[in-house]
A and B are shown apart, each in its own frame.
Chain A
């Protein structure tokens, strides 16, 4: 049975002149242990889709099934990493990472242990008492990642996590993400990442879902069977990138 399944999920928003349809009958499923990337142009509703999977937004039509059960509301097995980091500026790094655990009623001693563990895992050991305004963009996103990992979710959801970072930092963080995910003691098995950078999707994911815009619909579902680490300059890499590109253009 698939871990996560979307059936005919649609989303519309009420608008001045009637309804604005953002997502149109999206259906796909995700297996355990997969790294799925969702790519598409801006405005195609991919961030909305991710939030529907998490449960922050409810779909107008269709169902989200987790382990075969319909999910209403927030899915506690998911944790999200945000494009803009979404850290509380008045809390220290440690307090920010503990936030998700505190929300789930984890007792303080255990919170402390998990937070310290994952702050260390993302490479921010020693920065526990720092405040977000003292950190660089890359460091802030690591805090966001630590916060998501600390609740040890089954599914990690990432909303354009590296788009707000400079290219060099992003390269480093991508590698670290793969390291964390592939480690034997990794808390997270499944990752769903939204991105508009096609190369990023081809470099990281096992599967690429292509969304087209206006309204968003599934334009393609590609497997990426290249062995990791993947060479950006290799021929298979480039032909995959072209294929994704053409899928987006075709439906544009």
Chain B
């Protein structure tokens, strides 16, 4: 990254204050791993119920404490919720603007972003009561590409999730498209 902090997008509507910068600014961040970032709170059954209610997922591993205890030693979280446990809160008593996750901190020209691909390997279940941490690394930033939504760059990141015992629960390789929407679309 350059000495001067990248400026947030002038009229940022993403809620992430996406930093603007050049491809070189972005590529200067490749290869550095972020310090471990803890989740704001433990994995909770209430959030699991909320999510499974939305996806209509009746798997008793998420709903039935007795069956879950028999199968997993206790209630577990759906694998799809992995990233949900690390979502930053919008406000806390000690920070009005907690730092966004790495994919929203890459300086690039694009004012918007959308997800492109995700490759997750799960090593062990995430359980109710677990406190996860994540370490992130920027793997690559593509040259400028043109898509149906606009011109921009593909940003590939690696996230390694651990539980409170230091065990790796999952590794995520994600690619998102950071772009400026086409005018008049």
Q: Do chains A and B stick together as partners?
A: no
List residues of A whose CB falls within 8 A of some B CB.
none
List residues of B whose CB falls within 8 A of some A CB.
none
